[in-house]
């Protein structure tokens, strides 16, 4: 049968190495899915595939071994999965409307983890509603704390949930538990002077370890949620690299708006002579200053927000100065 591969890929099916067969890609925002969908997934895999499911590196599911002619039938069956995404658009029986934006990843967050500073699943689903569907190649991940178990620093947009400690000197006994913890395990942002704890706000990464270690509750969580946004990390053949910090102490609304503006930026500047262009390479080509000006447009940043003045990304070298023998 004649296959329009571009249409198939956009419909969230993989072009596999097995002739005449494909694999369905199921979106699982934040890596969190209701178990009631397992029966449906099992039915599709058993009836149309080879009875297996692959958990992808981006927390989605792939069901391999599907014949191309079964795609229309499967698309009707997965309608409940699309409806569960909560998208502000009409859901049809045509299956996934796009596959450019990869599945939004998240660690398990503060629903379970004691280190996490926020509900990462909720934020991943909010971002899903804000940016999906979209044909642009973007990768987004949410980490509940700066431990970054989800590897947000390898994504185009990585969100790290942070907490700003609020210090009450009247409850402090100058035990140095927070200072020692920060010095040994974090960045050394705290110091003790005249029996009071001082915090270097530029060094502080908002991990919350000082709050966890304080025996008297002298340091507590700020009621305001805050986030660090790291940008343009990537894997790949050409120039893999770690993301760099763009914003610190930003609010949730600003983060979502900046990411939405990032899509608009890519639409304006993408090289349409190419089959596809990764957003990181668009930023490399246009320059950080242009990206910064455009993604901060109509964004109201709070007084506490710190914005990077300039970013110089590093990258992987395939050869060293000394060369290889």
User: 161-197 pLDDT, tens per residue?
Assistant: 999 999 999 999 999 999 999 999 999 999 999 999 9
For the cut 60, the answer to whether the pLDDT of residue 263 exceeds it is: yes
Domain boundaries, the chain: 5-83, 105-162+226-307, 165-221
For the cut 90, the answer to whether the pLDDT of residue 251 exceeds it is: yes
CB-CB contact of 203 with 187 (8 Å): yes
Residue 314: the pLDDT is 86
CB-CB contact of 142 with 159 (8 Å): yes
To the question of pTM greater than 0.75 for the whole model, the response is yes
Tell me the C-alpha distance between 252 and 166, whole Å. Answer: 19
For the cut 70, the answer to whether the pLDDT of residue 320 exceeds it is: no
Residue 61: the pLDDT is 98
321 pLDDT band, cuts 50/70/90, is low
Average pLDDT, the chain: 95
Tell me the C-alpha distance between 10 and 176, whole Å. Answer: 56
Measured CA angle at 111 (ends 107, 117), to 5 deg = 70
Buried b (16+ CB within 10 A) or exposed e, 30-44: bbbbeeebeeebeeb
For the cut 80, the answer to whether the pLDDT of residue 103 exceeds it is: yes
**With respect to CATH, is domain 5-83 assigned 3.30.70.3340?**
yes
For the cut 80, the answer to whether the pLDDT of residue 319 exceeds it is: no
Average pLDDT, integer, range 69-83? 98
**With respect to CATH, is domain 165-221 assigned 3.30.70.20?**
yes
- Residue 168 sits at φ, ψ, to 5 deg, of -115, 100
Residue 324: the pLDDT is 54
Tell me the C-alpha distance between 116 and 109, whole Å. Answer: 5
Residue 275: the pLDDT is 86
Residue 2: the pLDDT is 75
Tell me the C-alpha distance between 197 and 191, whole Å. Answer: 6
Residue 225: the pLDDT is 95
Encode pLDDT of 124-166 as tens digits. 999 999 999 999 999 999 999 999 999 999 999 999 999 999 9
315 pLDDT band, cuts 50/70/90, is confident
- % of residues, the chain, pLDDT over 70: 98
Residue 276: the pLDDT is 86
Q: Which of 246, 239, 291, 299 is nearest to 268 (CA)?
A: 291
Domains 105-162+226-307 and 165-221 share a fold: no
Rounded to the nearest angstrom, the gap between the alpha carbon of residue 276 and the centroid of all alpha carbons in its chain is: 20
Residue 132: the pLDDT is 97
Residue 322: the pLDDT is 54
CB-CB contact of 31 with 59 (8 Å): yes
Residue 1: the pLDDT is 59
233 pLDDT band, cuts 50/70/90, is very high
For the cut 60, the answer to whether the pLDDT of residue 80 exceeds it is: yes
CATH number of 105-162+226-307: 3.30.413.10
- Cα torsion 44, 53, 84, 132 to 10°: value is -120
């Amino acid at each position: 049968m004649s296959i329009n591969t571009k249409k198939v890929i956009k419909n969230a099916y993989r072009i596999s190495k097995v002739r005449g067969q494909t694999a369905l890609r199921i979106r699982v925002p934040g890596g969190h899915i209701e178990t009631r969908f397992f029966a449906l997934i099992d039915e599709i895999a058993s009836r149309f595939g080879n009875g297996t499911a692959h958990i992808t590196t981006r927390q989605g599911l792939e069901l391999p071994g599907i014949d191309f002619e079964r795609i229309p039938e499967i698309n009707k069956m997965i309608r409940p999965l699309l409806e569960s995404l909560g998208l502000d658009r009409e859901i049809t029986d045509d299956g996934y409307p796009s596959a450019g934006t990869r599945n939004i990843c998240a660690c398990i967050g503060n629903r379970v983890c004691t280190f996490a500073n926020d509900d990462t699943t909720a934020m991943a689903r909010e971002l899903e509603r804000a940016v999906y569907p979209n044909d642009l190649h973007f990768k987004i991940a949410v980490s509940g704390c700066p431990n970054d178990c989800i590897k947000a620093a390898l994504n185009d947009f990585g969100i790290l949930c942070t907490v700003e400690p609020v210090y009450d000197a009247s409850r402090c006994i100058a035990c140095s538990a927070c200072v020692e913890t920060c010095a040994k395990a974090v960045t050394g942002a705290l110091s003790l002077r005249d029996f009071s704890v001082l915090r270097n706000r530029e060094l502080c990464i908002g991990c919350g370890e000082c709050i966890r270690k304080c025996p008297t509750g002298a340091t507590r969580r700020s009621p305001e949620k805050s986030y660090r946004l790291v940008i343009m990390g990537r894997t790949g053949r050409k120039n893999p690299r770690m993301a760099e910090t763009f914003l610190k102490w930003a609010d949730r609304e600003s983060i979502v708006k900046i990411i939405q503006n990032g899509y608009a930026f890519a639409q304006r500047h993408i090289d349409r002579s190419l089959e596809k262009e990764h957003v990181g390479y668009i930023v490399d080509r246009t320059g950080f200053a242009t990206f910064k000006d455009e993604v901060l447009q109509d964004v109201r940043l709070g007084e506490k927000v710190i914005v990077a003045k300039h970013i110089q990304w590093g990258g992987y070298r395939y050869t060293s100065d000394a060369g290889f023998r």
